[in-house]
Amino acid sequence: MPIISNSTYGRPPRHLFNGHLETIIPSIFRKIEGVTYKRERIATPDGDFLDLDWARNESRKLLIISHGLEGSSERHYAKGLAKLFNQHGFDALAWNNRTCSGEMNLQPIMYHHGASYDLNTVFEHAEAAGVYDEYYLAGISMGGAQTLKFLGEKGTDLNSKIKKAAVYSTPCNLTDSAATLSFKGNGFYRKRFLSKLKLKMQLKGEQFPGLVDLDLLQRVQDFDTFDTHFTAKLHGFKDAADFYQAVSADNWMKHIQIPTLIINALNDPLIHDRCYPIKLAEQSHHIFLEMPKRGGHTGFLVKGQEFTWAEMRFLEFLNS
């Protein structure tokens, strides 16, 4: 235990008949109206900044939302959670990883799946205000990995005000997740992520001349090359393999000490094999693993509903 063997997610709308459509259609077309953020910029310990987007309603409970790769607080899944939890008596804070708020960051690093240090900065800033009695963490995709790593790193030293956490579509093992981007049929995701990341790396190279090989950058067509020569180099790792292994959330997940829900759909095209931590969940008293047959990657749409099943499941788990 605790593996949740009978997931309550049934099936998506009929027109979303495979994992790719369940992933792509919400990503492109889903919109959440009625969320008005108030932005706050905070300093990081290394002289950089993070942009925080708040959706407040004078609550003493705060949901901290961590977004996915090349996402932001503006993504449908972040706004969906903010709106739903606001409606049920929570404040919400959707923070933006470095370079993800619309402005290039100041340091020669950027962000990555293991950047739990920035989540820690966000939490410490919120806690320093003395407003909240309880905190709840929510992570989506990469943000889920950052959340799990943060919780595991803290272990028994985690602030007692952090009560529960929930993540979905999360690459618990980064090596196995990164491998999916070379799978046949996943070219759409590879090209989309690479084009966005290459543009940011171009800007970073112009910001710090000589930092990266801009000629090589233009020729990169796969993630192993990109992460070896750019992500790993910027962040102090030997190569892509070293980076994936070193920052992977499952290095720390066994140390998690609060109730934590992991939802990973079995038809998610961007997670694989060790991203479903079955053995760990069987041995843990704190990790609850739910593996719906359907849902895709950050999908989980429900016909006729504004909120996804994953968002409503988060509310059920975190608010119980």
Tell me, yes or no, whether 104 and 147 share the same domain: yes
pLDDT value of residue 10:
86
pLDDT value of residue 5:
81
- Single out the residue in 247, 276, 304 at which a domain terminates: 247
Tell me, yes or no, whether 153 and 40 share the same domain: yes
Tens of pLDDT along the chain (320 residues)? Answer: 578 888 999 889 999 999 999 999 999 999 999 999 999 999 999 999 999 999 999 999 999 999 999 999 999 999 999 999 999 999 999 999 999 999 999 999 999 999 999 999 999 999 999 999 999 999 999 999 999 999 999 999 999 999 999 999 999 999 999 999 999 999 999 999 999 999 999 999 999 999 999 999 999 999 999 999 999 999 999 999 999 999 999 999 999 999 999 999 999 999 999 999 999 999 999 999 999 999 999 999 999 999 999 999 999 999 98
Distance CA 190, CA 300 (A): 22
pLDDT value of residue 200:
97
Percent of the chain residues topping a pLDDT of 70: 100
Residue 129 CA neighbour count, 13 Å, CB half: 13
DSSP letters for 131-184: --SEEEEEEETHHHHHHHHHHHHHGGGS-TTEEEEEEES--SSHHHHHHGGGST
Tell me, yes or no, whether 45 and 144 share the same domain: yes
Tell me, yes or no, whether 166 and 107 share the same domain: yes
Tell me, yes or no, whether 98 and 226 share the same domain: no
Give, in order, the Cα–Cα distances in Å from 65 to each of 2, 75, 239: 24, 11, 29
Tell me, yes or no, whether 199 and 102 share the same domain: no
Q: Do 265 and 259 touch, CB atoms closer than 8 A?
A: no
| Chain center to CA of 141 | 4
List the catalytic residues. 141, 268, 297
Q: Is 244 exposed, middle or buried (0-12, 13-18, 19+ CB in 10 A)?
A: buried
The sheet carrying 162-168 orders its strands as 3-4, 287-290, 260-263, 162-168, 134-140, 61-66, 91-96, 49-55, 38-43
Q: Which two tokens stand for residue 163?
A: 């009560």
Q: To which residue do tokens 């943060």 refer?
A: 150
The strand pairing partners of 164, in sequence order, are 136
pLDDT value of residue 11:
85
Query: CA angle at residue 76 from 75 to 78, to 5 degrees?
Result: 70
Tell me, yes or no, whether 188 and 220 share the same domain: yes
pLDDT value of residue 97:
98
- Single out the residue in 247, 265, 295 at which a domain terminates: 247
The residue range of the domain holding 299 is 3-173+249-319
Distance CA 182, CA 180 (A): 5
Tell me, yes or no, whether 182 and 166 share the same domain: no
pLDDT value of residue 1:
52
Q: To which residue do tokens 């996915």 refer?
A: 68
Q: Which two tokens stand for residue 5?
A: 């063997």
Which residue type sits at 283? Q
